[in-house]
Amino acid sequence: MNRLIKTCLRTVICILILLNPCIAKATNSDDDNSHHLPVIVINTRGQVIPDDPKIAAMMGIIDNGPGKMNRPTDPFNDYHGIIGIERRGSSSQQFPKKSYGFETRDHAGNDSSVSLLGFPPESDWVLYAPYSDKSLMRNSLAYYLFGRFGHYSPRTKFVELYLNDQYRGIYVLVEKIKGGPFRVNVDELMDTDIRDMDLTGGYILKLDKTTGDESNEGFYSRNAPTIINRPHFFIFDDPDGDEIQPVQRNYIRNKVSDFEASLRSAYYKDPEAGYRSYIDLQSFVDFFIINELSRNIDGFRLSSYLHKDRDDRDPRFHAGPAWDYDIAFGNCYYGGGDLNSGWQHLYEDDVHPVPFWWERMMTDTYFTGNLRCWWNQLREVVLHTDSLNDYIDGLVEHIGDAATRNFASFPILGSYVWPNPYIGNTYQEEVFYLKNWISQRASWLDENMPGICVVTGEQEYEKLGFQAVLYPNPANDQINLKILNPEKKKLQLCLYHFTGHLVYSESLEEAAHITRNIKLPPGIYQVVLRDDLEHITMKAIVN
């Protein structure tokens, strides 16, 4: 009955909003302002946006296309409809510039999947408000890099927001993390999926602070860190704690416990009995790199995601996606977050500890060998200092004079905002600090990243019955493989695009020496060479 009443109320509110023409567009004195970024206009009809629950409002988006200006009085041409909106964030809610979560709704008040600003259709979105990050781009940069590593990462778009006729500065439209074909590509878990294969996925978990009823929200790890006794906490993110069934809750908790127990065990390095059989190792390598490169003070322990699909698609845990990097990349004065040196995965916090996984995996030469090789390859292209600076400069150019308007509305340049370790007097100084900090951090990691990579393009593995060399890497239009197979095993070669699609598969001849030259379009690929017992995984970049 309560759900029926709530639905009826939402429908009535939506009808009232639709009938009220005064919310069609922004009408204040800023109407003559022109913006090269898309403009989002939101009107709540005088309602204050709460932390929870979402309230109904009207939203319109103006995007007149590349090279054309957008004005808040222009017709809405990208989206015009009802949304449910609430504040989001934890520490950031103290700031005068708030971040929001919203869902697009139909006239009856139900969730409605739509495409916003060219993004794939969905109903759940985030309007992130860069405030303490005066470069305005740390989150966008982190998501871009993790995507370039070969994983799903939330798409972002810089916009300017008008809320209830008031200009609110630069925001970033971001895809909310959730399962689905266009986001985290795991099967949707229904409340009826309670047995057999249906029960096994998909799940999205988040290591984070608890915000409500711990018993309903998630579960504590059964393996406390070695330094302190307080275990880390997993939140049910999708499905959330209100939707997940008891048998599903028990299944995923036991699965996490099995993974952690295997990592704690004496045989943790064993490729079959140890932790490697529970995880997609490459995703953990990449998650390690993005959090250490950014020296994200929250990395590894807060806003850190883990997901698992159905067993018949992929039975392993994957680390990621990347999320919440506004106080990363040298933008945090405490916990060493401003230092270019040192390891973030060794950060000690007795309230929200880093899981023991990372310190344990760093004692496995298989993990560190993969880590070192992939770091070397990334530093040649995606993480080359010139590439990073070029991308940052591109974002600065794209933001353009919107930064001036933003800091005119929020005059914080030259002033301390928690938890800034550096205070630039101009936007240009903030960007220079970011670029310089990243350059020094990457140089420190060059010198200190563990592991040994013997040959460029070749992973170092514990002794297997076969080996492979991938070259050149990056490649222009063709990758070359040399495979040493002294036992003449029957091998299978598979190439996957970073989106997960299989693009090449071949059963190889049972020969001691095998070569393959494979033409590929530009992109990032995962190269998997396997027999019945073992496998080698490499990353290939084609420019």
What CA–CA distance (Å, rounded) separates 27 from 35? 16
Percent of the chain surpassing pLDDT 90: 72
Q: Is 50 exceeded by the pLDDT of residue 332?
A: yes
Q: For all residues of the chain together, what is the average pLDDT?
A: 89
Q: Are residues 90 and 9 in the same domain?
A: yes
Per the domain annotation, does 430 fall within a domain? no
Span 297-307, average pLDDT: 95
**DSSP code string of 474-486:** SBSSEEEEEEE-T
Type of residue numbered 484: L
Q: Is 80 exceeded by the pLDDT of residue 527?
A: yes
**DSSP code string of 305-327:** EEEE--TTT--SEEE------TT
Per the domain annotation, does 181 fall within a domain? no
CA dihedral sign of residues 36, 42, 48, 49: negative
Q: Is 70 exceeded by the pLDDT of residue 21?
A: no
Per the domain annotation, does 398 fall within a domain? no
In the block, residue with structure tokens 């140089």: 443
Which of these three, 307, 340, 364, is where a domain ends? 364
* Contact criterion met (CB below 8 Å) for 84 and 105: yes
Per the domain annotation, does 103 fall within a domain? yes
Look up the pTM and report it: 0.81
Percent of the chain surpassing pLDDT 70: 90
User: First-to-last CA distance in the chain?
Assistant: 58
Beta bridge partners of 505: 494
- How high is the pLDDT of residue 278? 96
> What is the Cα Rg of the chain in Å?
24
Per the domain annotation, does 416 fall within a domain? no
- How high is the pLDDT of residue 502? 81
Span 136-161, average pLDDT: 96
Q: Is 60 exceeded by the pLDDT of residue 478?
A: yes
Phi and psi, residue 268, nearest 5°: -65, -25
Span 299-316, average pLDDT: 96
- How high is the pLDDT of residue 224? 63
Give tens-digit pLDDT for 150-176: 899 999 999 999 999 999 999 999 999
Span 125-141, average pLDDT: 98
Ordered alpha helix ranges (H), 415-514: 427-448
Phi and psi, residue 158, nearest 5°: -70, 135
Per the domain annotation, does 149 fall within a domain? no
Per the domain annotation, does 212 fall within a domain? yes
Q: Which helix (H) or strand (E) segment is 4 a member of?
A: helix 2-19
Which letter, b or e, does each residue of 416-431 get, where b requires 16 or more Cβ atoms within 10 Å of its Cβ?
ebebbbbebeebebbb
What CA–CA distance (Å, rounded) separates 204 from 206? 7
Q: Are residues 224 and 328 in the same domain?
A: yes
Q: Is 70 exceeded by the pLDDT of residue 454?
A: no
Instruction: Quickly state the pLDDT bin for 229 (edges 50, 70, 90).
Output: low
More confident residue, 272 or 438: 438
Q: What would the 3-class secondary structure string for 387-436 be? A: HHHHHHHHHHHHHCCHHHHHHHHCCCCCCCCCCCCCCCCCHHHHHHHHHH
Per the domain annotation, does 414 fall within a domain? no
Task: Compute CA 29 distance to the chain's CA centroid, rounded to the nearest angstrom.
Answer: 38
- How high is the pLDDT of residue 18? 47
Nearest to 373 by CA among 264, 496, 286: 286
Which of these three, 112, 129, 146, is where a domain ends? 129
> Cβ–Cβ contacts within 10 Å for residue 102, how many?
23
Q: Are residues 259 and 124 in the same domain?
A: no
Which of these three, 364, 394, 427, is where a domain ends? 364
- How high is the pLDDT of residue 227? 47
CATH assignment at residue 478:
2.60.40.1930
Q: Are residues 113 and 246 in the same domain?
A: no
Type of residue numbered 482: K
Q: Are residues 112 and 22 in the same domain?
A: yes
Nearest to 540 by CA among 443, 452, 459, 447: 459
Specify the pairing of strand 233-238 against strand 203-207: antiparallel
- How high is the pLDDT of residue 148? 93
Q: Are residues 110 and 17 in the same domain?
A: yes
Q: Is 90 exceeded by the pLDDT of residue 411?
A: yes
| Helix, strand or coil, per DSSP, at residue 29 | helix
What CA–CA distance (Å, rounded) separates 20 from 31? 20
Q: Are residues 350 and 211 in the same domain?
A: yes
Domain span at residue 12 reads 2-129
Tokens of 29: 């004195």
Q: Are residues 211 and 106 in the same domain?
A: no
Instruction: Quickly state the pLDDT bin for 459 (edges 50, 70, 90).
Output: very low
Q: Are residues 220 and 343 in the same domain?
A: yes
Give tens-digit pLDDT for 51-88: 989 999 999 999 999 999 999 999 999 999 999 999 99
**DSSP code string of 197-230:** GGGG--EEEEE----S-HHHHEEE-SS--SS-SP
Q: Is 80 exceeded by the pLDDT of residue 97?
A: yes
- How high is the pLDDT of residue 500? 60
Span 381-408, average pLDDT: 96
Phi and psi, residue 440, nearest 5°: -70, -35
Let me know how many helices (H) and strands (E) the chain has, helices first: 10, 19
The count of domains in the chain is: 3
Span 530-538, average pLDDT: 77
Q: Is 80 exceeded by the pLDDT of residue 15?
A: no
Q: Is 80 exceeded by the pLDDT of residue 511?
A: yes
Span 263-292, average pLDDT: 94
Specify the pairing of strand 156-163 against strand 166-175: antiparallel
Q: Are residues 243 and 350 in the same domain?
A: yes
Beta bridge partners of 39: 62, 160
- How high is the pLDDT of residue 32? 56
Q: Is 70 exceeded by the pLDDT of residue 226?
A: no
Q: Are residues 251 and 356 in the same domain?
A: yes
* Contact criterion met (CB below 8 Å) for 496 and 526: yes
Instruction: Quickly state the pLDDT bin for 223 (edges 50, 70, 90).
Output: confident
**Secondary structure letter of residue 50 according to DSSP:** P
